[in-house]
């Protein structure tokens, strides 16, 4: 019998008779794979999930703990989604229904992780601003961030990138590793403890699959060689989406997690930039654009060095990226309003021709 605690389960409430707890390890269309004390079972959602008026956010995803009505001879039933201790969501623009702004759906892509490995490679994609953005997302997710700088074997000078990350995020642990020669992997063992769950957040090609393979001690992910110049890697996943490492820790790797965009990150941005937003309250004009206005506290702080130019630019970049999500929703709304308008005009015309 499997002890679900090994999968990070913490019992808060005992399930009613006939139900057992489980953790979702895989999701393919509407079909779930759930690990439980009875082993791995195939399951579907109880009809109530579809009928409840709630959002897609309420649908279980990989990493979730659920109550299961097991069926020894067939498909089991997921009866209840248990509260999440952390989650990542992304904006899903597909399938927008008619005419509502709300149609940018929140799609949950991974849940109940303890650590977020912010993966960035030391060669081509090393960019502190991107690491900052991932930190913002991580802080909102409920997971603890760890910055992992990959491909350490390709770089002579590790000190300056490490120092750069420490400057922007002094309270976040940073590790330089190589999946190719094993440098630094030992240092990750403090996070990879039994029952702990990790997700990887990082661009394509930074070495997430290679890291997972290295931690698994076997090739569960196919890594296709890429030309380091254009840095496009292609991976082929096994179907598995939650991996049990030899150390007893788990890694969640779902397609949605790989595509993660910025969804509703505004709150997190403010949390990381309270110093910047504090300045706004000191500008002479309420609608100060912080570009040319007299009495602008931002410009003054930039001039006397109390606000670092870089920090200010990071703030602006993140605001812009987040605005894209907002803009996309207003774009869809405007487009639909316009289409409706056209449709009404045409209807009107047709009406006019009628006798």
Ligand X SMILES: Nc1nc2c(ncn2[C@@H]2O[C@H](COP(=O)(O)OP(=O)(O)OP(=O)(O)O)[C@@H](O)[C@H]2O)c(=O)[nH]1
Task: Output the known binding site for GTP.
Answer: 150-153, 202-210
Q: Of these, 26, 37, 106, 153, which contacts ligand X (CB under 6 A)?
A: 153
Do residues 149 and 178 touch, judged by C-beta distance below 8 A? no
Q: Say how far apart CA 199 and CA 1 lie, in whole Å.
A: 27
The dihedral region occupied by 39, where left means phi > 0, alpha psi between -120 and 50, and beta the remainder, is: left
The C-alpha R_g of the chain, in whole angstroms, comes to 24
Binding segment for ligand X (CB under 6 A), chosen from 54-62, 103-111, 177-185, 283-291, is 177-185
Position with the least CB separation from ligand X: 235
Least distance to ligand X, CB of residue 39, Å: 29
Q: Which does 288 bind (CB under 5 to 8 A by kind): ligand X, Zn ion, none?
A: Zn ion
Are 122 and 150 a contacting pair, CB within 8 Å? yes
Q: What is d(CA 240, CA 230) in angstroms, rounded to the nearest whole number?
A: 28
Q: Which stretch binds ligand X (CB under 6 A): 10-18, 63-71, 225-233, 296-304?
A: 225-233
Q: Which does 150 bind (CB under 5 to 8 A by kind): Zn ion, ligand X, none?
A: ligand X
Question: Which residue has 């090739």 as its token pair?
Answer: 219
Among residues 124, 114, 143, 108, the alpha carbon closest in space to that of 259 is found at 108
Q: Which stretch binds ligand X (CB under 6 A): 145-153, 160-168, 299-307, 332-340?
A: 145-153
Question: Is 258 a binder of ligand X (CB under 6 A)?
Answer: yes
Q: Which lies closer to ligand X via its Cβ, residue 139 or residue 208?
A: 208
Beta carbons within 10 angstroms of residue 237's beta carbon: 15
Helices (H), 31-70: 47-51
- Angle at Cα 327 formed by Cα 322 and Cα 332, nearest 5°? 140
Q: Which does 290 bind (CB under 5 to 8 A by kind): ligand X, Zn ion, none?
A: Zn ion
Q: Is 265 an interacting residue with respect to Zn ion (CB under 5 A)?
A: no
As annotated, the binding site for Zn(2+) includes 283, 288, 290, 296
| Separation CA 59–CA 52 (nearest Å) | 10
Distance from C-alpha of 282 to C-alpha of 262, rounded to nearest angstrom? 29
Q: Which of residues 182-211 bind ligand X (CB under 6 A)?
A: 204-210
Closest distance to ligand X from the beta carbon of 171 (Å): 26
- Residue number, 227 or 355, with CB nearest to ligand X: 227
Residues 278-307 binding Zn ion (CB under 5 A) are: 283, 288, 290, 296, 298
Contacted entry of Zn ion, ligand X, none for residue 296, CB cut-off 5 to 8 Å set by kind: Zn ion
Q: Compute the distance between CA of residue 249 and CA of residue 260 in angstroms, rounded to an integer.
A: 22
The residues of the shown chain that bind ligand X, judged by CB under 6 A, are: 150-151, 153-154, 178-180, 204-210, 223, 225-226, 233, 235, 258
């Amino acid at each position: 019998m499997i002890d679900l605690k090994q999968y990070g389960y913490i019992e808060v409430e005992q399930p009613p008779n006939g139900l057992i707890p489980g953790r979702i390890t895989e999701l393919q269309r509407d079909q779930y794979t759930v690990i439980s004390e009875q082993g791995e079972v195939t399951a579907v959602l109880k009809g109530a999930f579809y009928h409840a008026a709630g959002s897609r956010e309420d649908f279980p995803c990989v990493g979730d703990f659920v109550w299961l009505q097991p069926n020894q001879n067939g498909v089991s039933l997921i009866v209840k989604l248990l509260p999440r201790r952390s989650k990542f969501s992304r904006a899903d623009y597909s399938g927008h229904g008619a005419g509502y702004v709300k149609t940018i759906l929140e799609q949950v892509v991974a849940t109940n992780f303890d650590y977020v490995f912010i993966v960035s490679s030391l060669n081509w994609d090393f960019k502190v601003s991107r690491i900052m953005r991932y930190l913002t997302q991580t802080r909102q997710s409920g997971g603890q961030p760890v910055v992992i700088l990959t491909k350490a074997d390709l770089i002579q000078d590790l000190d300056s990138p490490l120092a750069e990350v420490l400057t922007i995020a002094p309270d976040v642990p940073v590790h330089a590793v190589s999946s190719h020669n094993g440098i630094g992997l030992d240092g990750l063992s403090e996070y990879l403890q039994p029952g702990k769950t990790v997700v990887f957040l990082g661009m394509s090609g930074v070495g997430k699959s290679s890291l997972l393979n290295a931690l698994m001690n076997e090739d569960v992910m196919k890594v296709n060689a890429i030309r380091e110049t254009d840095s496009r890697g292609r991976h082929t996943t096994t179907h598995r989406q939650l991996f049990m490492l030899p150390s007893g820790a788990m890694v969640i790797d779902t397609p949605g997690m790989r595509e993660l965009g910025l969804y509703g990150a505004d709150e997190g941005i403010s949390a990381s930039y309270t110093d910047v937003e504090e300045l706004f309250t000191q500008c002479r004009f309420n609608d100060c654009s912080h570009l040319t206005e007299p009495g602008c506290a931002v410009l003054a702080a930039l001039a006397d060095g109390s606000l670092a130019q870089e920090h200010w630019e990071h703030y602006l970049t993140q605001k812009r990226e987040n605005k894209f999500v907002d803009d996309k929703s207003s774009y869809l709304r405007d487009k639909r309003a316009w289409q409706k308008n056209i449709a009404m005009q045409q209807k009107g015309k047709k009406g006019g021709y009628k006798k």
